[in-house]
Structure 1
Amino acid sequence: MGANTPGSRCLSRREFTLASAGGLSVGLAGCIGSGSGDTGSNDSDGRVAVASFFTFYDFARKVADETPVTVENLVPTGLHGHGWDPDPSITRDIVDADAFINVGPEFQPWADRAIQTVRDDGANTHMINAREGIELLDLVDTVGDEEAVESGKDPHFWLDPGLAKRSVDNIVDGLSEIAPEHESAFATNADSVNSELDDLDTEWEAIFEAAERDVVFLAAHNAFEYIGQRYGATIQPLVTNLAANDDVRPADMRRAQDTIAGHDIRNIGAAVFEPRRPAQQLRDETDVEAYYPVTPYAGITEAWADHGWGYFEIAREINMPTFEIVLDAAEPDPDFDAEWRNFE
C-alpha cells in the first residue's frame, strides 16, 4: 500500500471493493478525501487483520483496542476452527487484508493453502504466525507410541497460559508491522492481556491443587495435554487424533470404558463443538453419572457471542467449572450444573 497524500486516505483492496459495491465513486488509486470530521491522516486508518482461529482473533482484538486497526475472525460463529473447510471467499478476504493471523503451518490446511495463494498472488498481506518461537509438545507425549506421528507435534499450546503469552507478543510484533505508529498502544494492551493470562494461570493452579484425583477423562479429541502437562494431571481424551473429527472407533470406546472403570470416574468432560453421542453412550453404559462442557477455545457459540465472551470468559465460565467437577476439586455450582449437566 502506498503512502497517503495529505488530506486523503488510500483504501485497502477490501475497502475499495466494498466502496465500489456500495456505489461510492472512487478514483483508480482507491483513495477518498478525508472529511472535515476526520481525526487524522495517519496511514494505519482502515488497516484490517483477519484471523484463522478464535483464540488469536480474541487476543488480537484486545491488542488492537482503541487503535484504528480492525481485527476480524474468519471462522463463522458455531464452527470449530480446526476442521473447518471454507469457501474461496475466505481466501479472498485474506488476500485483501493487511495481515493474516494464523496458527502456523500444518494445523489448518485451509490456512496453509490460503497463505500459498497470497504468495502466488503477490499480495502484500503480512503473515502473523501466532506460534512463532513456541516449543510444542511431541505427540509421543500426548498419545500412545503406536499412534505417534514421526516428528509430529501437538499444536494446542494456547491452552497453557504461559505459552499463550508468547502468542500475544507475536501478535504485537505482527500488528506493529502494519501499523508501526501504534506499536506503543499495542504493547500496552498486550501487557494487560498477558497480566490476565498470569491471573488465569494462578486460578488454574488453584483448581488443580484442590483436586482429589489426578486422572480425568474427556469425551473429546486430543487437545488438552498442555493443561495436563502444566498442572500435573493425566487428561485422557476419547479420540487420540488432534483434529475434532467424528471418528470415534470401537477401540476408543473400549479404552474409555477401561479408564473410567479403572479410576472410578463419575463425571467426565464433553466437547462443545463435537458430537455428544459418545459422552451419552459412556453415561449410559458405564458408572459415569454426568458429562460437562469443555472447549479448546477453537470457536464460539451464538450465546457466547451474544455475551461478548472471549478466551478468558470461556475459560472461567466453561472450562474451569468443568475441570473443578471432573477433578473433584469442588462441588458443581448450582447454576452451572442446571445449565450444563448432560447438555444436548
Structure 2
Amino acid sequence: MRDSTDERPRLSRRGTLAATAGLLTSGLAGCLDSSSNANDSPDNGTDGANGDGPVVAASFFSFYDFARNVADGTPIRVTNLVPTGLHGHGWEPNASVTKDIIDADAFLHVGPGFQPWADRAIQTLEDDDADTQLINAREGVQLVDLAATLDPDEEGVGKQRGKDPHFWLGPDRAKTSVDNITDGLVELAPAHEDALRDNATTYKTETIERIDADYQAIFDAADRDVVQLAAHNAFQYIGVKYDVTMRPLVTNLAASGDVKPSDITEAKGVIEDNDIEYIANGVFESRRPAEQLLAETQVEAYFPVTPYAGVREAWVENDWGYEEIAYNINMPTFRVVLGNDAPENVGPDGWAAEWRNFE
C-alpha cells in the first residue's frame, strides 16, 4: 500500500508506456458551466494495442479511464467523445458525435438522466436498430440520496430524481462500474476475456483499493471532520465513505450554479466555527467565490479538488487518469484542508507553489 505521506508523484503502470500508447488527448471538464456549447468534432483520446480492434466510445472521462485500464494490452480501442475543456453533462454536440457512436462497436455511458445528449444518442441507436453495443457503467450501482439542501428537480438528476449521480467518487461503487465495463468489453471481445478480467482485477485491487486505503488514512488522521468547498456538490460520496462533512459553496449538482449571498454567509460561519485555515476549490470552477472567502474570512488560501471529471493540458501531457488525479490533486488538498499537514509538506515538489490560489 502506498503511504499517504509519501511525497513522490505517483507513476501508474501505464506511465512507462506513454510514449507508445495513445495519450489522453481528450478530456471532459466534468460538471462545468453548462453555457459552454460546441459543435466541433471531438478530438478523441484513444487507447488500445493497435488500430485494428473494436472501438469503444466513452461519454465520460472517469469511465474512459477505467475502460482503457481494463483494455490494456488487448486490441480494444477506447475513445473519449467529449472535446478537451468541455463537459458531457450540459454539452450539446452536433450530429457528428452521434455518428461516431453509431460507427463505434460499443458506447460506454453513465446511465440514464446524467447526460441528456447521451440519452438522445441511445434513443437514436434504438430507433435505428443500430448494432452498437451499450455498456452502462452505472448498472446496479446504489446511489445515495441528495443532501437536504439540494433540489431534486435540478439539471443532472434526471430519471434518478433525489439521488446524487457522482457515484464514481466512492471506491466500492467505482469497482462496480469497473465490473460493468469489464462485462461489456468481454461481450465485445470474448477472445480476450482472460486478459480483460485479469486487468480489471489488478486495477481494482492495486489501484482503487489502494486509493481507498490512502484516502482512509488521510481522514483517519484528521482532527477536523468538516471540509469547506468553494465548489459544487460533487463530493458527497467521499463524505459518506470516510465520515466527513463536505460543505459545498454551490449547493446544487451543476458547477454552473450561482453562489448566493446566503451561501457565502453560511460558508463564513462554517469557517469560523471550525477554525478553517484552508479551503478547497474546484479545478474547473470559478475562482471568484474562493477569492471572496479569502478576502472576508480567516482563510489563507484555497487548493484544488476535482471529481475526476476532466483534465488540464498538463495532465494530458502526463497521461493522468483517475489514479494520478487522486494522488496529485485531491489527496494533497484533503491533507491540507483537514489540517493534517502544512501545504509545503504535501504533494510532489513544488505542489504548494503551483496550486496555492491557483488560476
Instruction: State the TM bucket, normalised to the shorter chain.
Output: 0.7 to 0.9
Question: Structure 2 vs 1, CA of residues 261 and 87 (structure 1 numbering), >3 Å: closer, same or farther?
Answer: farther
Q: How does 1:195-206 map to 2 (within 5 A)?
A: 195=205, 196-206=207-217
Is 1:231 matched with 2:242? yes
Q: How does 1:170-181 map to 2 (within 5 A)?
A: 170-181=180-191
Aligned partners of 1:328, 1:82: CA distance in 2, in Å?
A: 33
How much has 1:135 moved relative to structure 2? 0.5
Answer yes or no: is the 8 Å Cα contact 1:45–1:68 preserved in 2.
yes
Answer yes or no: is the 8 Å Cα contact 1:83–1:243 preserved in 2.
no
Q: Which amino acid aligns with 2:324?
A: E
Q: What's 1:21 paired with?
A: none
Answer yes or no: is the 8 Å Cα contact 1:83–1:245 preserved in 2.
no
Q: How does 1:38-77 map to 2 (within 5 A)?
A: 45-77=52-84
How much has 1:83 moved relative to structure 2? 3.1
Match of 1:255 among 266, 271, 285: 266
RMSD: 1.9
Answer yes or no: is the 8 Å Cα contact 1:83–1:244 preserved in 2.
no
Aligned partners of 1:341, 1:143: CA distance in 2, in Å?
A: 32
Aligned partners of 1:256, 1:231: CA distance in 2, in Å?
A: 21
Is 1:289 matched with 2:297? no
How much has 1:332 moved relative to structure 2? 1.7
Q: Which amino acid aligns with 2:129?
A: G
How much has 1:290 moved relative to structure 2? 0.4
Question: Structure 2 vs 1, CA of residues 283 and 83 (structure 1 numbering), >3 Å: closer, same or farther?
Answer: farther
Q: What's 1:101 paired with?
A: 108
Answer yes or no: is the 8 Å Cα contact 1:220–1:274 preserved in 2.
yes
Answer yes or no: is the 8 Å Cα contact 2:250–2:257 preserved in 1.
no
Aligned partners of 1:255, 1:122: CA distance in 2, in Å?
A: 51
Aligned partners of 2:265, 2:152: CA distance in 1, in Å?
A: 20
Q: Which amino acid aligns with 1:198?
A: E
Match of 1:310 among 317, 321, 337: 321
Is 1:184 matched with 2:206? no
Is 1:126 matched with 2:126? no
- Tell me the TM-score normalized by structure 1: 0.83
How much has 1:120 moved relative to structure 2? 1.6
Higher helix fraction (1 or 2): 1
Q: What's 1:221 paired with?
A: 232
Which string of whole-angstrom CA distances, capped at 9 and with x for unpartnered residues, describes residues 286-328 of structure 1?
1111000000011111110101110000000000000000111
Q: What's 1:343 paired with?
A: 358
Q: What's 1:143 paired with?
A: 148
Match of 2:203 among 169, 172, 193: 193
Match of 1:269 among 259, 280, 283: 280
Gaps of 5+ in 2: 1-48, 154-159
Task: Tell me the matched-pair count.
Answer: 300
Percentage identity across paired residues of the two chains: 61
- Tell me the TM-score normalized by structure 2: 0.80
Aligned partners of 1:79, 1:331: CA distance in 2, in Å?
A: 33
Aligned partners of 1:94, 1:134: CA distance in 2, in Å?
A: 24
Indicate the SS of the match to 2:285: coil
Gaps of 5+ in 1: 1-38
